A and B are shown apart, each in its own frame.
Chain A
Amino acid sequence: MEIPYTVTTRRDTGLNNGKIGIWLFLASEVMLFGALFASYILIRTGAQTWPRGDTVLNVPLATVNTIVLISSSVTMVMAWASLMRHRFETFRIYMGITILCGLAFLVIKFFEYSHHFEEGLYPRSDNFHAIYFTLTGLHGLHVIFGMAVNAWLWGPGSKLWKTNPVWFTNRVENSGLFWHFVDLVWIFLFPTLYLL
């Protein structure tokens, strides 16, 4: 049975089902990260002492990661815009850069984590590192998931462009919404953990 309203929009909402689905999912994601931010506030306000992020974390590396992730958001939206202009090859270039930026983000995060582990700092070490590893770890998993979806759309999933370009463009837009959300979470994580 064919999935309804993947290309056409529903008359009652003016949206296709994929877009409603991804926004409902993102709403649940807001609550997931919201719960962790609330935990962070609770733990920090209740602690007698709390280290400033820039005294224990690597701010230059995190700044580079912020720039990398923001750049990937731009290339993601440019990939979608390329499909809207029916330029498939340009789409693949932008989507490829987006995936590489995601990879660069993870490599930098790997170096950061390695440095902490070398210093004997783990989630169990103290409250700061517990919340730091939990928030950045969950965010990192989202980056991996987003990269996997984007890689599928860049590779095997792109066959759909030949048979149903509108559906494929909608899929890229929805994947982009998730990717921008991942960027948005980092925009708040960066100052909260590293700079305050």
Chain B
Amino acid sequence: MTSDHAVEAVADHHAADIDRHVRIYITVFVALMVLTIVTVAVSRFHLPVPIAVSVALLVAIIKGSLVACYFMHLISEKRLIYAVLTLTVIFFAVLLALPVLSYHDGFWMR
């Protein structure tokens, strides 16, 4: 195989890889649309607040994960990015936990 042929072969392989990615993007797009309809449809049932919050957050987490994993390519990212995001998730969880703890009256006064 000449060097020109080798370059073409690599380019073809690369193009096929991008085509595969594009098919995944379209699949994710359809999934996001369906989940958006599900979110709105579920809200019409006027479920009790704890259940409604749980369902809405679960669907939002699934949608967010799809965007992060596939559109933001987190499914195949380098370790440093995962390390940065792990720290971020920990601090984010602490941040959200603070008001939840305050829900128990007088928690911070003890």
- Identify the A interface with B (CB < 8 A): 13-15, 19-20, 23-24, 27, 30-31, 34-35, 37-39, 41-42, 45-46, 54, 59, 63, 66-67, 70-71, 73-74, 76-78, 81, 84-85, 176-177, 180-181, 183-184, 187-188, 190-192, 195-196
Contact = CB atoms under 8 A, between A and B. Distances in A.
A187 B64 contact: yes
Interface string B33-73: 10010011001000001001100110110011001100110
A100 to B, nearest CB: 17
Contact of A191 (B33, B59, B95, B103): B59
B18 A184 contact: no
Given A23-B85, A74-B26, A85-B18, 4 more contacts: A14-B78, A15-B78, A38-B99, A74-B25
Interface residues on B, range: 35 or more
Contacts of B53: 196
5 contacts: A14-B79, A38-B99, A54-B43, A63-B40, A187-B67
Contacts of A59: 40, 43
A75 to B, nearest CB: 10
B98 interface: yes
A34 B18 CA distance: 34
Contacts of B18: 81, 84-85
Contacts of A39: 99
